[in-house]
Amino acid sequence: MAAQASVVGSAQVVDGDTLDVGTTRVRLFGIDAVEASQTCRHPVQGDWPCGRDVKREVGAWLNGQTLKCTHEDTDRYGRTVATCWLGEVDVGGALVDAGLAFAYSKYSSRYEVRQARALKAGRGLWTSVVVAPETYRNRKPAVSDVQPVQGRCAIKGNISSKGEKIYHVPGQKYYDQTRISPHKGERWFCSEAEARQAGWRKARV
């Protein structure tokens, strides 16, 4: 059950974790969303504009909906940090459940269990290799520098100049310098078993 609301109004999505609720700019409490410019990497389908897609999906759900938000804090930009409700649905929690946002453990542990469930189920962003939004904001990595969160889909399936399919796991000698080019048929794997089943062999060093 939602607590008594301090901000009520029609929602317009700014990005995956920020909304205009009526005339108030609201940053959703306890979650962090990928930035609009972020790219994620699917192990089979390759790079995809996850930041743009998350914003579109959240907007399709929330734009024009009446939200009731409970003030939690004010951030350094002067935005209201709040828990928002669509009826009885905790919006931040629902986004984490769908794999569209991270639990922002730096500020709250509220959604950590829900994120673990979404990760295990492979929902939303968790189908892919994705940089934590805060890390992305701090270092703005290139697509080729994308690293997996919590070890998911971290195995690099490379094709050698002789056409041999070889996979590299984190910690192996040539892992860091190996680059994956999906248009060449190279790909990421979530487990060694998956890589072997697809016809790749493990690098010898």
Q: Domain map of the chain by residue range?
A: 7-127, 154-202
Q: Largest Cα–Cα distance in the chain? A: 66
**pTM confidence score:** 0.68
d(CA 171, CA 184): 24
CATH no. for 7-127: 2.40.50.90
Q: Token pair of 9, please?
A: 């109004």
* Structural element, H or E, at residue 123: none
Question: What are the tens digits of pLDDT across the range 109-168?
Answer: 999 999 999 999 999 999 999 989 998 888 754 444 444 444 457 888 899 888 899 999
pLDDT recorded at residue 181: 80
Question: What are the tens digits of pLDDT across the range 37-86?
Answer: 899 988 888 889 999 999 999 999 999 999 999 999 999 888 999 999 99
- Is 198 buried (19+), middle (13-18) or exposed (0-12) by CB count in 10 A? middle
